[in-house]
Amino acid sequence: MTSLSGLEKELYEQIISSIEGFKESKTMGISFSGGVDSSLLAKITKDLGYDVILLTMGFEDSHDVEFSKVMAKTLQMRHEIELISEETFSDVAKKIWEMINVDNLSWNENCIAFYYVAKLAKKNNISKVITANGMDELFCGYNSYRDFIPEGEEAVLGLMKEKLDNEIRMMKAVNQVTSEFGVQIVQPFLSDKFVEFAKTIPLEYKIKDKDDLTRKHIVRKLALSVGVPEDSALKQKKAMQYGSLIHKNFLKVKKTWNMNF
């Protein structure tokens, strides 16, 4: 690991504290796409001495399945993959929509994604899966932050609060779905302590201006410092429902349900 700046070191220590707060055993299952957030979480967790099992789901040949294979091999970590069956996907998606009873496209797609993560976790005798949810909200990872940055810091913080509130509520729905497998999905970066710390980091370390396509600058810098591969650390965001091809396939099947959301 290369030397860290003062703020990077604080972020690194807060991440460690957040991970340790959710430890259950020496084996840690991590929801893994190969992107900067899940790779940073995985690398630090492994460096702490945990036996890390990376869990990836997606349709065959999807971006996340293929990219995660490369990153897991580079990081030299055990990697398990759940390929989504096209034959049963519609039934699973319909069951989840009826279960959470929310006409929100993103919520449904995320709940479907974590359903398959939980299914994979159960196969590997993992009862608690750690995710990097919260990083995009707290460090301006979403493209929508570019629209708000010209309006000033207060506008950006308002969007951040809105996105955090949505994410916390959505993850409750996710856990409702994953309970079918006896699997809990936990988010160390949505803990009160981490959220409060992340909010103190100046905006300039997260997003520069309306043309900033990279964003999450301090997160990416820390990732490079701890040994996350550059292809992951500098990779632009691709939400799990898109990278796994869940979004594409969900749009197809929902047409047959006469639903408008």
Q: Does domain 6-256 have CATH number 3.40.50.620?
A: yes
Per-residue pLDDT at 236: 84
Per-residue pLDDT at 237: 82
**What is the secondary structure of the chain as a DSSP string?**
-----HHHHHHHHHHHHHHHTT--SSEEEEE--SSHHHHHHHHHHHHTT-EEEEEEEESTT-HHHHHHHHHHHHHT-EEEEEEPPTTTHHHHHHHHHHHH----HHHHHHHHHHHHHHHHHHHTT-SEEE--TTHHHHTT-STHHHHHGGG-HHHHHHHHHHHHHHHHHHHHHHHHHHGGGT-EEE-GGGSHHHHHHHHHS-GGGT--STT-SS--HHHHHHHHHHT--HHHHTPPP--HHHHTSHHHHHHHHHGGGT---
Q: Where are the domains of the chain?
A: 6-256
From first to last of its 261 residues, the chain has per-residue pLDDT tens of 666 778 999 999 999 999 998 776 788 999 999 999 999 999 999 999 999 999 999 999 999 999 999 999 999 999 999 999 999 999 999 999 999 999 899 999 999 999 999 999 999 999 999 999 999 999 999 999 999 999 999 999 999 999 999 999 999 999 999 999 999 999 999 999 999 999 999 999 999 999 999 999 999 999 999 999 999 999 888 888 999 999 999 999 988 886 555
